[in-house]
Amino acid sequence: PWRPSRLKEQPLRAFLISWIAVFFIFFTIARTQLPNYMLPVFPALILLMAMWLRDTARQSVERYLLWATGVLSIILLIGGGVALQRQWPGDWPYALSFLPLLVATALAWQWREKIFLCMTAGMVVMVLMLAGWVLPGFDSHKASRTLAESATAAGFTKGKLAGYRFFQESLLYYHGNNTLPVLYNPPELISWLEKGGVAVIPQRDMDQLSAETVARLDVINRVYGLYARQDLILARLKPE
């Protein structure tokens, strides 16, 4: 911290050092033995100590923040990859979107004077990857979209889709419905299906249906609902 370049950047520090040096050199040459002659040095010395403590504290905070950010980015990178692979096999590369944060942390550790620039650049790249790569990639995992597309592909057009003890607004959007009828009991479900409709049935509710009712159902598609935390089954009646 006492390099000439550092002193040029901090005139106050240079002034305080000069203040101390003048008194120290003068009274050393004068060879005075009276300690009170050195009292004017103490204000400058105290200020220098305060500045040193401030810089040390600031560096410690930065160090801890960088350590915390680095550990967090590693957890997100590895843990996110494992979680994605378990949830959707083959999607683990999406966790690499957290890599820019780890790289930025490493660069900020090397160039502390550019910590803000490094972290800002890392965050911007990470956000761009999340928005431009990860989120569009997750569209294929939206249960509502997949179920709506499956219903349309099976010939069930607008107004033919209902939910059995299940409702999700996004189904309206993806299937083009104005309303999504909700069926609450097996007779309503069978009646709806007999009229040429199709229904989304959560797995837990499917398990509660009688074996006779389940035997009449034809499963078109089965998708895991991330928000419902269970399989969502698109079913119609089996042809007679």
> What is the per-residue DSSP string for 33-61?
--GGGGTTHHHHHHHHHHHHHHHHHHHHH
Question: What integer pLDDT is reported at residue 79 of this predicted model?
Answer: 92
Would you place residue 37 in the very low, low, confident or very high pLDDT band (cuts 50, 70, 90)? low
pTM beyond 0.75: no
Question: What integer pLDDT is reported at residue 53 of this predicted model?
Answer: 59
Interhelix angle 115-129/41-87, nearest 10 degrees: 20
Question: What integer pLDDT is reported at residue 2 of this predicted model?
Answer: 46
Residues 190-222: tens digit of each pLDDT: 999 999 999 999 999 999 999 999 999 999 999
Would you place residue 120 in the very low, low, confident or very high pLDDT band (cuts 50, 70, 90)? confident
pLDDT at 3 over 60: no
Residues 125-172: tens digit of each pLDDT: 988 888 888 878 877 777 888 898 899 889 898 889 999 999 988 888
| d(C-alpha 163, C-alpha 167), whole Å | 6
* Cβ atoms of residues 236 and 154 within 8 Å: yes
Would you place residue 96 in the very low, low, confident or very high pLDDT band (cuts 50, 70, 90)? very high
* Cβ atoms of residues 206 and 189 within 8 Å: no
For the chain, give percent helix, strand, coil, nearest 5.
70, 10, 20
pLDDT at 1 over 50: no
Domain boundaries of the chain, sorted by first residue: 4-140, 143-237
* Cβ atoms of residues 16 and 48 within 8 Å: yes
Domain 143-237 is in which class? alpha beta
